[in-house]
Amino acid sequence: MNELIDSPAINDPLMRLLAATQGVKSRSGFVSAKLEGVVTSSGEEVVATLGQAGVNVRFTKPVDVDENGVVKGVRGFGDATEKLMKQFQQDNARKGRQVEVGETVSEPNPQLSLSLEGNLKIIHKEIRKIAYLMTVCIFGDDAIQSRSGEIYRAAIHAETEDMIRATGLGGGTNIDIIPTLARARPNEHALTCFRMGNKIISAVILFGSIAGFCITPADGFSATELEGEVVIIDARTSTLTRTPYNKWLLEYIQTQEFVQAMAKATNMQAQKK
């Protein structure tokens, strides 16, 4: 799971960007995200690193070499250019070569075109895996040994929408159609899992924006109606709160947020009709 799903999802450019903008800190420090792009005027390739310290931009090929291998120039952005030139001179000095710095040319405020590619297929696999682990965390062996567990384990590795449906997994990515699921702020993850009738519903929201919910049969579950849990994780502080679903629901339905969620769900149902 770690090699095939967790690691690719965590290191996905979109996920790293969301983590970087929310100040998430890993064991090696604050998370940063890299975006590839070009200088609009010249088409030269650049890499922009976004993090808590700001944005650092560098050229993919900072050293300009002619067809004979002779260095024609060094390019960069801001103060980093001077540091790059000094490092280039020092490296050549160690090799017994002296590099003369000629005329410096500056282009103020160059316009950049940056792109971001996120692999939603791997991110949604991660969502299905988290949804499954939520059922295991709350319902224990029932979630593992039941038909629900079989469906999840097959669906986690499914590559296409048709393959996912073939496993028997229900659900989707638009949580707005179910107003009784916990929502999340941009710095939070929200996990909701509970029994409703003959179904087990497990929903995941990452960074308040990427979401999915899964529906499996409740056959073989001893859990009572509305038994479950809501887990809110603060990604900035790596802390979480856990609340029994029925208790959370009683408090939630009295809020303005629930009223708005109900209105949105009702409007969506009306548009379908």
How far is Cα 20 from Cα 33, in angstroms, rounded to an integer? Answer: 6
Tens digits of residue pLDDT in 5-50:
999 999 999 999 999 999 999 888 899 999 999 999 889 899 999 8
Q: Quick check: 103 pLDDT over 70? A: no
Measured CA distances, 154 to 90, 129, 131, 136, 239 (Å): 57, 10, 13, 15, 31
Show the tokens assigned to 237: 């502080």
Tens digits of residue pLDDT in 194-213:
999 999 999 999 999 999 99
How far is Cα 89 from Cα 106, in angstroms, rounded to an integer? Answer: 20
How far is Cα 196 from Cα 194, in angstroms, rounded to an integer? Answer: 6
- pTM (whole model) above 0.75: yes
Q: Quick check: 240 pLDDT over 80? A: yes
Q: Within 10 Å of residue 4's Cβ, how many Cβ atoms?
A: 13
